[in-house]
Amino acid sequence: MEAKNLGKWFGKRKVFDRINFSLEEKSSLVVTGKNGSGKTTLLKILCGFIRPSKGEVLISFNGKTLNQDEGRNLLGLVMPDLELYGELTALENLVFLSRIRGLDPDKDKLKEKIAMVGLSEREDDLVFSFSSGMKQRLKYAFALLLDPGILLLDEPTTNLDQEGISLVDQIVSWQRERGILILATNKKADLKYGDQTIQLGN
């Protein structure tokens, strides 16, 4: 994944400018900065949710630059601005999200993902009834659905208890060994996860 000269303005307000980085497999980037410095905006641009005011993001796989659809299928994402469907159960959410991504949903494997985040007893409950910590855990089950090549985490431990935070630690370590990890955080302790660091708001 490569970001070339990224800049973003909302009207006249500059959020950030001249962001450059290049990430290979088994590498990681920590994006840090104060509230409002543009961490979430940068992650949204990397995912293709919003367009940068200048610059571009390139995702390559096996030497081939991917188009937006192909690139999107490599991404796993956990962020506060991304919620799962409250009117569906945990399992129904993952079945729907697999299907719309063009996967043949194997319910046993989906149940494994739900069990991995510690929600197996609640897999048939509507997500509406989940606590915020449980919703956060379910977001990790979704993010890991495709064993993503690129995992983007925004404030990854929000709402999680100690057990949940340990789970995130495991996921982060696992991702750093096999793909690309991009983590946006305010916590100094999380800086250790990054091979590269970008400080926004300077």
| Nearer Cβ to other proteins (81/163) | 81
- Check residue 56 for interaction with other proteins (CB under 8 A): no
Tokens of 146: 């495709």
- Check residue 137 for interaction with other proteins (CB under 8 A): no
Site string for other proteins, 19-48 (x = CB under 8 A): -------------------------x--xx
Interface residues for other proteins in 92-111 (CB under 8 A)? 92, 96-106, 109
| Nearer Cβ to other proteins (99/187) | 99
Residue by residue, what is the 3-state secondary structure of 25-36?
CCEEEEEECCCC
**Nearest-angstrom CA–CA distance, 145 and 78:** 12
> Which of 24, 25, 56, 83 is the binder for other proteins (CB under 8 A)?
83
Q: Find where tokens 């005011």 sit.
A: 53
- Inter-axis angle of helices 162-178 and 132-143, to 10 degrees? 10
Phi first, then psi, for residue 176 (nearest 5°) are: -65, -25
> Which of 6, 84, 144, 183 is the binder for other proteins (CB under 8 A)?
84
- Check residue 49 for interaction with other proteins (CB under 8 A): yes
- Check residue 13 for interaction with other proteins (CB under 8 A): no
| Nearer Cβ to other proteins (30/84) | 84
Tokens of 23: 């990430």
Q: In DSSP terms, which residues pair with 130 in a beta bridge? A: none
Nearest to 187 by CA among 175, 174, 169, 202: 169
Residues near other proteins (CB under 8 A) are: 44, 47-51, 68-69, 72, 75, 77, 79, 81-88, 92, 96-106, 109, 126, 142
